[in-house]
Structure 1
Amino acid sequence: MKKTIEETTIQEKPIQDRLKQASSITVESALRNKVNLNVSWYDVHGEQQNQKFTILAGSVIEF
């Protein structure tokens, strides 16, 4: 019997959607006119996932 491994990829969503699901938000760097964030959350299976975002100067995000 041949087993197949189903590969799933994290569907990238806009930062506002990810912030609503976030379990933690980490500032990875803040240089010049941009901030790099790593947003972590738990999916429906209880697995921790993350997605990285770059926020440019002048951007407004709501928590």
Structure 2
Amino acid sequence: MKKSTQQTIESPIPEKPIQYRLRQASCITVESAIRNKVNLNISWYDVHGEEQSQKYSISAGSVIEL
């Protein structure tokens, strides 16, 4: 009798530009602001209603529109 193995492959969240994610954002968290860099964690809900998040690092002097 042969056993079958089933693999679950999770596809990573596609990398999108920060402006695209900001339009979808349900929560924006500043994780750190050190040495002219700000690290953000942007969360949003996908089409299935599941929360997703992606981290971004922006340089001092960068302008983003909320």
Whether these two folds match at TM > 0.5 is yes
Deviates more, 1:30-39 or 1:1-10: 1-10
For 1:53, give the aligned amino acid: Y
- Partner in structure 2 of residue 23 of structure 1: 26
What is the RMSD computed on CA atoms of the aligned residues? 1.3
Q: How does 1:48-63 map to 2 (within 5 A)?
A: 48-63=51-66
Runs of 4+ residues deviating >6 angstroms: none
Specify the alignment match of 1:37 in structure 2: 40
The alignment's TM-score, normalised by the length of structure 1, stands at: 0.89
Question: Structure 1 stretches of 5 or more lacking a match?
Answer: none
Q: TM-score, normalised by structure 2?
A: 0.85
Structure 1 SS opposite 2:33: strand
